[in-house]
């Protein structure tokens, strides 16, 4: 019997790498996309050598439809996106095209493929908790909301097994330094080894539900294994402040008092930023039997320790960086 096939857009990003590894370990064949002209294929070769990576722009509807037709996947996971709320203010058209319009086209192509094959093709969409926050007017949140609406429409009008996860902040050492979590853990590590003197940040008055990305991909896979599609929030159910994260990151690299090293720059403030976001973990627990198990301190310590290893070795990508090895647990 042939192994089931999955198509993962954005495979070379944080979530894509963890999901591809999860699927491969479960016996799936995995094909994924990366941005044309990027170094994504080389990164994937280090982390997911068993996956096939194809350079395709998600906004190229014809190319994506052709890839779907060629691969005939059982599951489609759409993880590719412009993922920065802050960046979306300066690139609203690109954000709308990538996070909204491209998803609608991909859903349409999936419906056509399902009709041609005469069998079910299941579709997962990565959405964001920012859609319901006070930054809901951002181009990022608006585009993600458009994608959510398209999921519901294809489900109700075309019978497509399609669902979306409202993803709360999920992090790992594979996070881009454009995200504040990785900016903090990297900064703390580089200060610890004397490579930098200060960490410059924007708004510190926020709290978020931070979890480990390596666990969240298991929930994504489970969502496409349910009897009927259901949209779910994914998070730990516990919020921490950015100050908590700073303290934990610096402590992990041996600096007990971080504040002499931290400077706030008003120029880095977003036009809008939700002060507090936290998930309700109960719907995912009820529908999937899934709860996050990696605690906040373990997550931050893991990221900071990996960035310390990077600062000392100069090696940016290594499969040994993927999973927490610390024994620190708890919230």
Q: Hey, which residues are catalytic here?
A: 128, 130, 140
Q: Quick one: which of 81, 76, 118, 115 has its CA closest to 96?
A: 81
CB 17 within 8 A of CB 38: no
What gap in Å lies between CA 320 and CA 206, rounded to an integer?
Answer: 31
Q: Quick one: which of 190, 200, 174 has its CA closest to 302?
A: 174
Cα 316 to Cα 54, 91, 254: the distances in Å are 23, 28, 21
What gap in Å lies between CA 45 and CA 69, rounded to an integer?
Answer: 24
What gap in Å lies between CA 261 and CA 185, rounded to an integer?
Answer: 13
Helices (H), the chain: 14-25, 40-47, 61-71, 85-90, 92-96, 102-117, 139-158, 180-192, 213-223, 242-252, 282-288, 296-313
Structure tokens at 315: 């090696």
**Checking DSSP bridges between strand 232-234 and strand 162-167, what pairing results, if any?**
parallel
**Tokens 């008055």 belong to residue:** 205
DSSP for 283-321, written as a single string: HHHHHH-----S-HHHHHHHHHHHHHHHHHH-----GGG
CB 83 within 8 A of CB 99: no
Neighbouring-strand partners of residue 199: 262
Largest CA distance in the chain: 63
Element containing residue 132 per DSSP (H, E): none
């Amino acid at each position: 019997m042939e192994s089931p096939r999955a198509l993962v857009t954005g495979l070379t990003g944080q979530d894509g790498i963890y999901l591809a590894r999860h699927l491969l370990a479960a016996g799936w064949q995995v094909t994924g996309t990366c941005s044309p002209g990027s170094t994504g294929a080389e990164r994937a070769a280090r982390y997911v050598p068993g996956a096939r990576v194809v350079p395709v722009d998600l906004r190229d509807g014809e190319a994506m439809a052709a890839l779907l037709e060629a691969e005939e996947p059982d599951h489609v996971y759409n993880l590719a996106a412009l993922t920065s709320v802050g960046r979306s203010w300066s690139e609203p058209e690109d954000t709308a095209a990538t996070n909204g319009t491209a998803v609608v086209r991909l859903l349409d192509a999936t419906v056509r493929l399902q009709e041609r094959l005469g069998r079910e093709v299941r579709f997962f969409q990565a959405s964001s908790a920012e859609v319901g926050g006070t930054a809901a007017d951002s181009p990022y949140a608006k585009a993600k909301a458009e994608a959510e609406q398209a999921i519901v429409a294809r489900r109700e009008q075309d019978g497509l097994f399609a669902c979306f996860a409202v993803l709360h902040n999920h992090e790992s050492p594979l996070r881009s330094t454009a995200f504040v979590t990785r900016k903090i853990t990297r900064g703390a590590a580089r200060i610890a080894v004397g490579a930098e003197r200060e960490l410059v940040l924007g708004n510190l008055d926020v709290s978020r539900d931070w979890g480990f990305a390596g666990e969240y991909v298991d929930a994504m896979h489970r969502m496409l294994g349910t009897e009927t599609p259901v949209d779910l929030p994914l998070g730990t159910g516990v919020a921490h402040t950015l100050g908590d994260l700073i303290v934990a990151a610096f402590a992990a690299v041996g600096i007990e008092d971080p504040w002499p090293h931290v400077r706030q720059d008003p120029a880095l403030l977003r036009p809008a930023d939700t002060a507090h976001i936290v998930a309700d973990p109960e719907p995912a627990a009820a529908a999937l039997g899934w709860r996050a198990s990696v605690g906040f301190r373990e997550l931050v310590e893991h990221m900071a320790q990996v960035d310390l290893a990077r600062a000392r070795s100069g090696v940016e990508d290594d499969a040994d960086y993927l999973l927490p090895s610390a024994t620190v647990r708890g919230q």
